[in-house]
Amino acid sequence: MKELVIISGKGGTGKTSLTASFAVLADRPVVADCDVDAADLHLVLSPVISERHEFQSGRQAVIRNADCIDCGSCLELCRFGAVMRLTEEEAMRTCTPEETDCRDCDHCERSCPLRIRVIIRELQQAAGMGRSAAYSIDPQACEGCGVCVRFCPAGAIDFNERICGEWMISDTRIGRMVHARLGVAAENSGKLVSLVRREARRIAEAEGRRLILVDGPPGIGCPVIASVTGASLVLVVTEPTVSGKHDLERVLSLARHFDIPAAVCVNKWDINPEMTEQIEGEARRAGARIAGRIRYDRGVTLAQLQARTVVETDAACAEDIRNVWKQLAIQEEEAEHGMRG
Ligand code: SF4
Ligand code: SF4
């Protein structure tokens, strides 16, 4: 079984369009969309979800204000500024009428002749509504370190598993697909990428598929490392620009570091043929193979608008993509000295 990972130094180079086209050209591969921060392969492959799972990672502190004794330790100890002491008004809102016998009529506030806050509080507390103080934890600022939980003298802080997103197994017109969606501001995308790859491999083994196609994340960070380690081959898609050249150098150095064979494809090569030559020269010197060039073609946008892969249309660059695929297939045959299997 081979695993081909398509990556790029930055987003928007055509990586996903290429992955989708390869998925059509290959012999029923298992497709893994590991660009979990901005997944969009589903827009072209129109998956029908057959399994959906929560992605839990890390923990998040949540204060039970009913048990809080207002010691202030959590506020003082949290190094991430995630704990907030609520104003009286906000504190009132943390206690909903559904939780108590209170009917939320405001009579206690309006009828108290002395208008002394303490008395009002006592009345409210007698009704199970008032609180001396309330705290709240900003879920996006909480790093899940657990310090507040450990030191809360009242044991008033829950430390629940954090739901960071979801992952799915789907059926598409080209075969099975594993994909995911990371929650807003959620972290641990590297862990989710590993999970998606693991599931894709499990399905490929169970169904006897020979190829896993991975749409990797852009850049060189943790999610990229999680998507390429142990792969048979990475195909780096780049554009003929100064930043494209710079990003390519970084990605190729990452592939070299992890000892993964690399190939390079220049997308929209004809917008700057001179830079394309330079990029290919750099790629060769860095030990990568040249998988081919793809011309600039508005047909790519038209294909996207029709929710089809480029090779399913009559776009001129479809021929270039087929040629790149053939180059990669040749490398696949040369597994002994080209790809890790
Ligand atoms: S540490 Fe516990 S008891 Fe003290 S303020 Fe925080 S939640 Fe309340
Ligand atoms: S778990 Fe850590 S980061 Fe989160 S609120 Fe408590 S002390 Fe702050």
pLDDT tens digit sequence for 155-191: 999 999 988 899 999 999 999 999 998 887 777 678 9
Per-chain mean pLDDT for the chain: 86
Q: Whose CA is nearest to atom 6 of ligand 1?
A: 74
Query: Closest Cα partner for 235 from 197, 264, 269?
Result: 264
Ligand 2 within 6 A of 195 CB? no
Ordered DSSP codes for 9-61:
SSTTSSHHHHHHHHHHHSSS-EEEE--TTS--THHHH--EEEEEEEEEEEEEE
Closest C-alpha to ligand 2, atom 4: 142
Mean pLDDT for the stretch of residues 215-242:
92
Rounded to the nearest angstrom, the distance between the alpha carbon of 94 and the centre of ligand 1 is 15
Question: What is residue 229's three-state secondary structure?
Answer: coil
Looking from the CA of residue 83, the nearest atom of ligand 1 is 6
The pLDDT tens digits for 18-27 are 999 999 999 8
Q: Nearest ligand to the C-alpha of residue 156?
A: 1
8-state DSSP, 271: G
- pLDDT level of residue 100 (50, 70, 90 thresholds): low
The residues, any chain, with a CB within 8 Å of residue 66's CB and separated by 6 or more, are: 95, 99, 131, 156
Tell me the per-residue pLDDT of 130-157, one tens digit each, with 9 for 90 and over: 555 689 999 989 999 999 999 999 999 9
Enclosing H/E stretch for 175 = strand 175-182
Give me the half-sphere count of Cα atoms (radius 13 Å) on the Cβ side of residue 20.
26
- pLDDT the model gives residue 92: 60
Q: Which residues 6+ apart lie within 8 Å of 52 measured at CB?
A: 166, 167, 168
pLDDT digits (tens, 9 = 90+) for 266-314: 999 999 999 999 999 999 999 999 999 999 999 999 999 999 999 999 9
Q: Please determine, for residue 91, whether its predicted confidence score (pLDDT) is greater than 60.
A: yes
With a 6 Å cutoff on the Cβ, whether 83 touches ligand 2 is yes
